[in-house]
Structure 1
Amino acid sequence: MESQTQNKSVALIVGVTGMVGISLAEALNNPTTLGSPWKVYGVARRPKPTWFPSSSLHRYISLDVCNLDETYHHLSSISNEVTHVFWVALHAGETEEINVSVNSLMLNNVLKVLTLSPTSPLKHVALQTGTKHYMGPIEGVIPANQIVPAVDPPFHEESARLPGPNFYYALEDILISYTPKFTWSVHRSSIIIGASSRTIYNTLLTLAVYATICRYEGTPFRYPGSRFTWEHFCDMVDSGLLADQQIWASVLSDKAKNQAFNCSNGDVFMWKNLWKFLCDEVFDVKYEPLDDEIEFDFVGEMKKKGSVWDEIVEKNGLEKTKIEEITCPGALKAVLSFGFQHVCSMSKSREYGFFGYVDTYKSIRMWVDRLREMKIIPTI
């Protein structure tokens, strides 16, 4: 019995209430998941929300990992257990320099505590980043339609880094600095589809709140992006698939250790087709094709809808949320204004042995249903 306990896989999910954090917790709680049986600890800055699936965790730990003393207080007692860290936490500040500083501090604090002992059992750290690796910061720096990726899409993992600060680069360098104490993997996600009210850049929830307000007020559900994105290819990634890739890289393949992998669903779509699907089959709002003659200040309009969302929450008995806390209109507007096709190559991932695939349309429908079950958005 002692031997079984010592050899058990023990995960620490940092950022457990985000879209991928929830998917990781649920996947690791499944007895058929790679590396099972897992003991799972989850860390988040705020207390556990009512919708969180508590049964998926051994313990929920509320702490601010920016504070080293607090991190030590909460994590030192489990540092002799944790074998795998899944880093899906994110701090988004006003500048990329702030992002580099704060996100680096967070990761360093956790790793310092977990590796204090020379006999630390920590084997692997899976780090989630994203396609900003190839594009650089997308908000408040240069217009989205003027962003130039390091290489033409589809994005490939071996592409050179862009000049200038990027906190994704900083976090990768921190992991590399710990070699060979533990192995690591980096997971550069596409636009993530999942269900949480505590994810900063939540495209699907922003769209869902926007559609809900349009339906409530009887106003058009206009596309807030450009003609280019309307008519060109894009991709997304299901949070469950992203969790599966992180677990695969962490426990199964030695070849996948100390490598970076893109992660997308494996299909592509055009926003003009997806928009009609959202209108007709997901949100029940009137479809309107893009009209270039109509000026639409999406970000400005969403800022005015706080009281409307409060009414919707009250009338439908939803989770108490504020529109500015659960939507990211600026980020969505940027993504829908790119002057290039947002597509990730999955060739390396497949070459190394990960063959996960999800249909984007089915994924969106499933996660919107989940948001309704969680009472984050109303049912139709």
Structure 2
Amino acid sequence: MAFKKALVVGASGVIGHGIMRHLENLAGWSVVGMSRGLAPRSMAAMPWITVDINDARALELHRDMLADVTHVFYAAYVPDADLAREAEVNAAMLRGLLDGLQSCRSPLQRVVLFQGGKVYGLHLGPVKTPMRESDPRHMPPNFYYDLEDLLVERSSMSDWTYTLLRPDIVLGAIPGQPLNLAMVIGAYAAFCKALRVPFRFPGSQAGYRVLMQATDADLLARVSVWAAEASIAAGQAYNVTNGDLFRWENLWPALADHLGLDVGPPMSIRLVDHMKDKGELWADFARRFGLVTQDYRQAIGWAFGDWVFHTGFDVVSDLTKLRLHGCHELRSTDEVLVEKLGQLQARRLIPPLHDVA
């Protein structure tokens, strides 16, 4: 079996965390994480590089860990309200990493780049559905386009190839990441329980009824390894979701029933504003239940919940290409959310939902 070493860039995020955990015990692989910050406490025992990938000299200092990297899973992202600036910054990061790996003479075979709904223009408004990998680009700027073009250019002059994966609403069980919807739902449920109020959907009427999709972080990790190894995946882009569709009007009451909460009608609030005053209650949770993240400002990404719950148009990806190319992973989003809420409680990232009064 050929030796494979993975470098997971953005390893502390919801996508990177899932890949690190999957590869940690996968035969034939070794793995090292990379981020701008230190490894999270839950991942402190794993090989880790803390570095600014824009700094070629800093990357060279880690030559001993990079010189045998064969596969890169790239999930790093720096947001910016200025989309042109966002594209410039993120392209510079990937360029810096590729330059660093080339300088370290890493025997690179494939780069797996994670994109998202923005590649189809979801951040700009309604899009054609189902979204297909062959859909034309929208008017730039879009940082995903810059990253993809960079991979196309660099791979054409190198021995390595690339694959693009396009998940949607990745559901994982890690602390306070800004794009972690499971954490948003779990924390919101904990507040509802503690305050003895119904578990009302905190979004718009339209958002309650549109078709949605999601991607289990563990499923995405398995598909990522397939994408890194399958010869057919070289130079390809794939949508990756659980394979089902849902409407919150059906899923939300099912979650409420699982949690033993009343539902009530949707309540069109903005969580970023409406949950500002819950810091003391979170601090009480942290003391009583030994929560991992005690700082309320760092614990929950309410803004991402607002974006998802107020989406007023269908979000549907076509998975035909992924299936035809031989990857058949499927999961029920209902089951995934229940699973993630259980994991969040077990890892003391949210209070135990059966006892938060």
The TM-score with structure 2 as length reference comes to 0.92
| Pairwise CA distance, 1:187 | 0.6
The answer to whether structure 1 residue 129 and structure 2 residue 115 are counterparts is yes
5+ residue gaps, structure 1, are 139-146
Q: What is residue 252 of structure 2 aligned with on the other side?
A: 275
Residue in structure 2 matching 1:371, options 341, 344, 351? 344
Q: Which amino acid aligns with 1:275?
A: W
Q: What is residue 73 of structure 2 aligned with on the other side?
A: 86
Provide closer, same or farther for how the CA distance between residues 321 and 46 of structure 1 changes in structure 2, counting only shifts above 3 A.
Answer: farther
Structure 2 CA distance for aligned equivalents of residues 9 and 202 of structure 1:
29
Structure 1 CA distance for aligned equivalents of residues 44 and 17 of structure 2:
8
Equivalence map 1:259-274=2 (5 Å):
259-274=236-251
| Pairwise CA distance, 1:163 | 0.5
Structure 1 CA distance for aligned equivalents of residues 106 and 17 of structure 2:
26
Q: Are the aligned partners of 2:54 and 2:96 in contact in 1 as well (CA < 8 Å)? A: yes
Structure 2 CA distance for aligned equivalents of residues 284 and 108 of structure 1:
49
Residue in structure 2 matching 1:311, options 284, 292, 300? 284
Q: Deviations over 1:20-42 (max 9, x none)?
A: 222212222334xxxx4111111
Q: What is residue 271 of structure 2 aligned with on the other side?
A: 298
Structure 2 CA distance for aligned equivalents of residues 249 and 184 of structure 1:
9
Q: Are the aligned partners of 1:43 and 1:62 in contact in 2 as well (CA < 8 Å)? A: yes
Q: Are the aligned partners of 2:271 and 2:305 in contact in 1 as well (CA < 8 Å)? A: no
| Pairwise CA distance, 1:328 | 2.4
Q: Are the aligned partners of 2:212 and 2:245 in contact in 1 as well (CA < 8 Å)? A: yes
| Pairwise CA distance, 1:319 | 0.7
Q: Deviations over 1:98-148 (max 9, x none)?
A: 32122222211111110125x53100000011111112536xxxxxxxx13
Q: What is residue 234 of structure 2 aligned with on the other side?
A: 257
- 325-334 or 101-110, which deviates more: 325-334
Provide closer, same or farther for how the CA distance between residues 247 and 26 of structure 1 changes in structure 2, counting only shifts above 3 A.
Answer: same
Q: What is residue 221 of structure 1 aligned with on the other side?
A: 199
The answer to whether structure 1 residue 238 and structure 2 residue 216 are counterparts is yes
Residue in structure 2 matching 1:48, options 39, 43, 51? 39
Any idea what SS the aligned residue of 1:160 has? Answer: coil
| Pairwise CA distance, 1:236 | 0.5
Structure 2 CA distance for aligned equivalents of residues 326 and 309 of structure 1:
9
| Pairwise CA distance, 1:295 | 5.3
| Pairwise CA distance, 1:53 | 7.4
Q: Are the aligned partners of 1:156 and 1:345 in contact in 2 as well (CA < 8 Å)? A: yes
Structure 2 CA distance for aligned equivalents of residues 10 and 89 of structure 1:
18
Q: CA RMSD in A?
A: 1.9
Residue in structure 1 matching 2:180, options 202, 212, 221? 202
Q: What is residue 142 of structure 1 aligned with on the other side?
A: none
Q: Are the aligned partners of 1:125 and 1:250 in contact in 2 as well (CA < 8 Å)? A: yes
| Pairwise CA distance, 1:229 | 2.6
Q: What is residue 20 of structure 1 aligned with on the other side?
A: 15
Q: Are the aligned partners of 2:176 and 2:300 in contact in 1 as well (CA < 8 Å)? A: no
| Pairwise CA distance, 1:278 | 1.8
Any idea what SS the aligned residue of 2:316 has? Answer: coil
- 190-199 or 218-227, which deviates more: 218-227
Structure 2 CA distance for aligned equivalents of residues 97 and 324 of structure 1:
28
Any idea what SS the aligned residue of 2:350 has? Answer: coil
Q: What is residue 60 of structure 2 aligned with on the other side?
A: 72
Provide closer, same or farther for how the CA distance between residues 321 and 135 of structure 1 changes in structure 2, counting only shifts above 3 A.
Answer: farther
Q: Deviations over 1:193-248 (max 9, x none)?
A: 11111532111111111111121222332212222232232110101111111111
The answer to whether structure 1 residue 63 and structure 2 residue 40 are counterparts is no
Structure 1 CA distance for aligned equivalents of residues 204 and 293 of structure 2:
33
Q: What is residue 265 of structure 2 aligned with on the other side?
A: 289
Q: Are the aligned partners of 2:71 and 2:108 in contact in 1 as well (CA < 8 Å)? A: yes
Q: Are the aligned partners of 2:176 and 2:301 in contact in 1 as well (CA < 8 Å)? A: no
Any idea what SS the aligned residue of 1:51 has? Answer: helix
The answer to whether structure 1 residue 158 and structure 2 residue 106 are counterparts is no
Q: Which amino acid aligns with 1:167?
A: F
Percent identity reads 29
Q: Deviations over 1:282-305 (max 9, x none)?
A: x43321132xxx653433112222
| Pairwise CA distance, 1:46 | 2.1
Structure 1 CA distance for aligned equivalents of residues 271 and 243 of structure 2:
29
The TM-score with structure 1 as length reference comes to 0.87
5+ residue gaps, structure 2, are none
Residue in structure 2 matching 1:325, options 298, 301, 317? 298
Q: Which amino acid aligns with 2:50?
A: S
Q: Are the aligned partners of 1:107 and 1:171 in contact in 2 as well (CA < 8 Å)? A: yes
Q: What is residue 30 of structure 2 aligned with on the other side?
A: 39
Residue in structure 2 matching 1:114, options 101, 104, 123? 101
Number of residue pairs the alignment of both structures matches:
351
Structure 1 CA distance for aligned equivalents of residues 29 and 72 of structure 2:
12
Q: What is residue 141 of structure 1 aligned with on the other side?
A: none
Structure 2 CA distance for aligned equivalents of residues 209 and 330 of structure 1:
13
The answer to whether structure 1 residue 192 and structure 2 residue 167 are counterparts is no
Q: What is residue 317 of structure 2 aligned with on the other side?
A: 344
Q: What is residue 143 of structure 2 aligned with on the other side?
A: 167
Structure 2 CA distance for aligned equivalents of residues 373 and 62 of structure 1:
28
